[in-house]
Amino acid sequence: MELADVTRARRTPGLVVLEGFHAVKHALRFGGELLGTWTADPAALEVLRLRLAPDIALAAQLVAPDELRQVSPRAQVVAVARRPAQPDADTVLAGPGHVVLLEDPRHLGNLGAAVRVAAAAGAAGVMTTGRQDPWHPDALRGSAGLHFALPVHHLRAPRTGARELVALDPAGEPFEPNALPQRMLLAFGTERDGLTDELLALASRRVALPMAAGVSSLNLATAVAATLYALKLAQA
């Protein structure tokens, strides 16, 4: 594979484009198969590898700086990987641990950041609905490649399996992590409007994160992080 193939790879089902050291690092750490890796500064890339990820082996083809900027204006390293095989959504829903549901997230960076915190907090998976592809390169950049660490699925419509659906809603009851089950589908709404009435109607309960007076909402990824880490600490 050549650097010129990166543009086509962005549109090819089954392939993903990784931009930046952290995305490449996490893909390799969690078993990703890289088909091509490119950098304009292999010495600097090796310094990063030795400092931040000596556990991985990383070889990149040398390309001219202007060639790299044409496919990724800001990244020091770019790679193309196979999209990893994952358990299907129904299998994830049937398994242990909390699963995050993002209803129609609008901003790909927020979506990726939510995947990143879900992976760090040990969630069992992330599912999204709506127009955005959770495997879009911008979402992968936001997750720092941690899509490779847990299942990430796009659903045409929300489904819960046998899980209790708990909705994060500012009008809900106070969030008490110890009162919640060990295995939930946690639903988070859009950055502007929150959850739809249709999804709220599916929820067995609604809970609200505590916020200071006058603060009406949190960034999507921040809300996911606060919820998952509160549950993690309470149920440890």
Residuewise pLDDT in 10s, the chain (236 residues): 999 999 999 999 999 999 999 999 999 999 999 999 999 999 999 999 999 999 999 999 999 999 999 999 999 999 999 999 999 999 999 999 999 999 999 999 999 999 999 999 999 999 999 999 999 989 999 999 999 999 999 999 999 988 999 999 988 999 999 999 889 999 999 877 889 999 999 999 999 999 898 887 889 999 999 999 999 999 87
Please give the angle made by the CA atoms of 18, 35 and 17, to the nearest 5 degrees: 20
Q: pTM score > 0.85 for this model?
A: yes
Domain locations along the chain: 5-82, 89-234
Which amino acid is present at 110?
Answer: N
CA distance 16 to 32: 10
Number of helical (H) and strand (E) elements in the chain, helices listed first:
9, 10
Query: Token pair for residue 137?
Result: 């390169």
Q: 89-234 — its CATH code?
A: 3.40.1280.10
Which CATH code, of 3.40.1160.10, 3.40.50.300, 3.30.1330.30, 2.40.50.140, is assigned to 5-82? 3.30.1330.30
Query: Token pair for residue 100?
Result: 């995050």
H runs (alpha helix) in the chain: 5-9, 21-29, 42-52, 65-71, 89-94, 108-120, 137-142, 197-202, 220-234
CA distance 35 to 96: 32
Residue 213: what pLDDT?
86
Which amino acid is present at 198?
Answer: E
Query: Token pair for residue 101?
Result: 């549901």
